[in-house]
Structure 1
Amino acid sequence: MRILHILDHGLPLQSGYTFRTRAILKAQEARGWQVAAVTGPRQGTSAQAVEAVDGLTFHRTAGPVPAGWRGEIGGVARYAGRIEAAVDAFRPDILHAHSPVLDALAALVVARRRKLPLVYEIRAFWEDAAVGNGTGREGSARYRATRALETWACRRADAVAVICEGLKTDLIGRGIDPAKLTVSPNGVDLGVFGTPVPRDAALAAELGLEGGEVIGFIGSFYDYEGLDDLIAAMPRLVAARPLARLLMVGGGPMEAALRAQAAASPVAAAIRFVGRVPHDQVERYYSLVDILAYPRKRMRLTDLVTPLKPLEAMAQRRLVAASDVGGHRELIRDGETGTLFPPDDPAALADALATLLDNRGQWDERRNKGRKFVEDERNWSSNIARYAPVYQRLIDVAPMDH
């Protein structure tokens, strides 16, 4: 089976999007399928039209995309031309487009022209992601237009995959046939991220975390992540647990505001920012953290979409505490694999973390259950099997004219 993946961006860029993509492609190759990918104009300038990264083949589309809707439409047309060239080179049996919806539009053009089946995979609704990133407003004309376009694309794709039940339920509410929908949940490549490294004492000393009870966040600093609530919770937490420390690893749009908030905190000395770190160094920072905190704010995006980071934390045998929003409830069983606390409430967050720190005797059992959940239900080597019946059904009915 030959699958051509159609992506907004991919390796060597690093993001949750590219890490999920890499996991999918590597797991499909391990299954014996042949895979290649096409990245869109947002990838940026590449030295070669086709390049290999981490053993994977990527066909590149010349960028960038001009601003505005006309630029987006022109980008879709250019992207469709590049996908068609990749079809000629790779001769796929199926196209697998990944959100945002512009990728599906470009793929639909080629799928119809070349009589290839198309799977469209949605990781988040583009309109809700814009609200979460602060670049859009719920209910605006652009929001409604993007939502309508997403629904239009789902009706025309041969099959639709989503990363969680929240997105599936929303699409069914829009009238999308449930028989077209498959849930392919976020997972962890345990071959890459499955063996926790020993505590890095030298790094702990370098960061001044020796002897501390370390709360950590490792990821992107977007507003919807609620990291302002995490910093606001620290004075109350330190009052209850004087050795509590907060380690912030990553960066993003909110970084400057969060650093300023931390500097103004009465417990500023208990908060450490280290910026972005190379992906191959992330495990060193996980090794220092007792509890990974995910205080996402409550909104459509966080209620509908499951994040990847809590799964990585469980795979690393770290304790997980997260806000009680829909996306987290799909991953975390409160009191069993993690702790859920009310969203948008720094005091409740501080109290939940203090309670976890107070009950160290329960940590090993909690860590074991979290790790087992990832191994049994969120491991990419088994997750990937969910695509097989979808692909096979579409290939069996597709006309043979590529």
Structure 2
Amino acid sequence: MKVLHVLYNYFPDHTGSTIRSEGVLSGQKAIGIEVVAITSPFQSGFSDAEYETVEGVKVYRAKNVICNELDISEKPKSLWSRVKKLRLLLSFARYIREVAEKEQVDVIHAHSMFFCAFAAKYASKTLGIPMVYEFRSLWEERSKNQGIVSKYLSKLLKFSETLAMRAADHVVTINQGLKSNIVKRGIRDQHVTVVSNAVSSSLLSVAQNTTSSTSFCRFGYVGNFSDIEGLDLLLEAFSLSFPVDGFPDVSLSFWGRGPDLEYLSALAESKNDPRIKFCGPFSRDSVTLVYESLDCIVIPRISLPITELVTPLKPLEAMAFGRLVIGSDVGGIVEVVGGSENALLFPAGDTVALSSQLSFAHENIEPCLRTLKCGRDFVFENRNWSEVSRAYSKVYQDLLVG
């Protein structure tokens, strides 16, 4: 069986989305599915070549064929820039068909967002092969509160995503919360399969050789700096737990990038605390070094529809590397960590409660080490992409038989 994965973005971008995509591709390869990928016209690769080999997978770069000045950004976009992106939809669809025909694939698997699904549907329809759409997030929630125009764009985005799911021969999503949301949109329950977030076998092999934390002084956040993450809450809680004059051995590091970087940097600077550091983005090859520089990963997401339903990937990585996870009790985090026995949880949005958990981790090493071990065991036993990917195999087989 050969599957063409249509990705909005992939490496060299280092985001939760690209990490999941890498896990999907590597996991499917591990169980004998032949995979090839294509990225959207908005993402540059490592070179100007039509295709590259990334982590052992052939990745076609549509941007190098459909030349344009557009790129992927989390910054607010004008209506005109969105229209310009949509104008490339047909060109992308034709290129997907060309690659699918050239590679002689059996299934086309489009991943969020709807732009990929619409283009993939054209290719699958004209070639007479099944199309799967993987829905990963409530994208409309990210922009609905950014003004009147954004409110209507949010509604349009939700409509487009729903239409993409209706057009697909089968829908895959990342957790039960999102599946419930999809079913409420009128998609049949049996038309939707949950494939949970997981960690790739290659990363688990590296993580297995990493020594777990033995104390909890180096706190940190790893990921995207956006307003849903509650990182200002983390800064306040850290200062409350560890006054600058009393805890010289404690630190707080931020690894990553995102639209809130400038705001967070200014907030941290106002603390006048040299223990707080912004370390910048990092490459996939540096993941081990990032986690080895920290003892405890804090994920203080605030409660919103998107955070209640969408499961992040970073907690699983942190747990695999033997790092304690402190997270808010939003549904997405509780589901992905597997419950309170695997991580320390606190009520979302509660600065004092988060401060209490930071202090608890620092002062109560033994019970936190037990939580850490439970979390690490949970990931190795239940969140391995090689095993999780078998659900994809069943979806593809059913579609091909049907």
Any idea what SS the aligned residue of 2:271 has?
coil
Q: CA deviation at 1:265?
A: 1.2
- The question of 1:39 aligning with 2:39 is answered yes
CA distance, structure 2, for counterparts of residue 138 and residue 383 of structure 1: 40
Partner of 1:208: none
Matching residue's letter, 1:256: E
Deviates more, 1:46-55 or 1:387-396: 46-55
Residue 58 of structure 2 corresponds to 57
TM-score, structure 2 normalization: 0.90
> Residue deviations 1:294-328, cap 9 Å, x none?
00111111111000000001001111110111101
Aligned counterpart in structure 2 of residue 86 of structure 1, from 93, 99, 102: 99
The answer to which of 348-357 and 60-69 deviates more is 60-69
* Matched residue, 1:249: 255
Residue 164 of structure 1 corresponds to: 175
Q: 2:271 maps to which residue? A: 265
Task: Identify which of 219, 229, 235 aligns with 1:231.
Answer: 235
Aligned 8 A contact 1:197 1:284 in 2: no
- Residue 10 of structure 1 corresponds to 10
Q: Which residue of 1 aligns with 2:108?
A: 95
Q: How far 1:138 sits from its partner (Å)?
A: 10
| Structure 1 residue matching 2:166: 3-state secondary structure | helix
Give the equivalent residue in structure 2 for 1:205.
Answer: none
State which drifts further: 49-58 or 179-188: 49-58
Q: Which moved more, 1:233-242 or 1:161-170?
A: 233-242
Superposition deviation, residue 199 in structure 1: 8.4
Q: Distance in 1 between matches of 2:360 and 2:296?
A: 11
* Cα deviations by residue, 1:264-299 (Å, 9 ceiling, x for unpaired): 115x12212211223222222312322110001111
Relative to structure 1, the CA distance from residue 335 to residue 395 in structure 2 (aligned partners, 3 Å threshold; closer, same or farther) is closer
Compute the displacement of 1:82 (Å): 0.8
Cα shift readout 1:38-65 (whole Å, capped 9, x = no counterpart): 1111113751112222221112212436
Residues 334 and 199 (structure 1 numbering): CA distance in 2 closer, same or farther, change over 3 Å? closer
Aligned match of 1:328:
333
1:111 maps to which residue? 124
Counterparts of 2:67 and 2:196, CA distance in 1: 31
Q: Distance in 2 between matches of 1:337 and 1:254?
A: 29
- 1-side partners of 2:51 and 2:268: how far apart? 44
**SS of residue matched to 1:47:** coil
Question: CA 1:378–1:220 in structure 2 vs 1: closer, same or farther (change >3 Å)?
Answer: same
Equivalence for 1:206: none
- Residues 142-196 of structure 1: CA distance to partner in whole angstroms, max 9, x if unpaired? 1111111111121121100001111101011111100010011111114224325
8 Å CA contact retained: 2:212, 2:322? no
- Partner deviation per Cα, 1:350-377 (whole Å, 9 max, x = no partner): 1111122222111332122101111122
Name the residue aligned to 2:74: none
Question: Unaligned regions of 5+ residues in structure 2, if any?
Answer: 71-79
Structure 1 residues 17-26 or 92-101, which shifts more?
17-26
- Aligned-residue sequence identity (percent) comes to 33
List alignment gaps of at least 5 residues for structure 1. Answer: 201-210, 398-402
| 2:166 aligned residue | 155
Q: Judge conservation of contact 1:212–1:245 (CA < 8 Å) in 2.
A: no
CA contact (8 A) 1:100 1:125 kept: no
Q: Judge conservation of contact 2:225–2:260 (CA < 8 Å) in 1.
A: yes
Partner of 2:77 in structure 1? none
- Aligned to 1:4, the other structure's residue is in SS state strand
In 1, Cα distance between equivalents of 2:61 and 2:286: 28
Q: 1:386 to 1:21 in 2, by over 3 A?
A: same
2:190 aligned residue = 179
Length, aligned pairs only: 384
CA contact (8 A) 1:190 1:315 kept: no
* Aligned-residue offset at 1:99: 0.4
Q: Could you say which residue in structure 1 is the equivalent of 2:88?
A: 75
Matches of 1:11 and 1:247, distance apart in 2: 24
- The alignment partner of 1:38 has SS state of strand
Q: Which residue of 2 aligns with 1:395?
A: 400
290-299 vs 6-15, which moves further: 6-15
Structure 2 counterpart SS, 1:246? strand
In 2 relative to 1, CA 229–195 (structure 1 residues): closer, same or farther, beyond 3 Å?
A: same
Residues 24, 234 of structure 1: alpha-carbon distance in 2 compared, 3 angstrom cutoff: same
Q: 1:368 aligns with which of 373, 384, 388?
A: 373
The 3-state SS of whatever aligns with 1:264 is helix
Q: TM-score by structure 1 length?
A: 0.90
- The 1-side partners of 2:32 and 2:336 are apart by 29
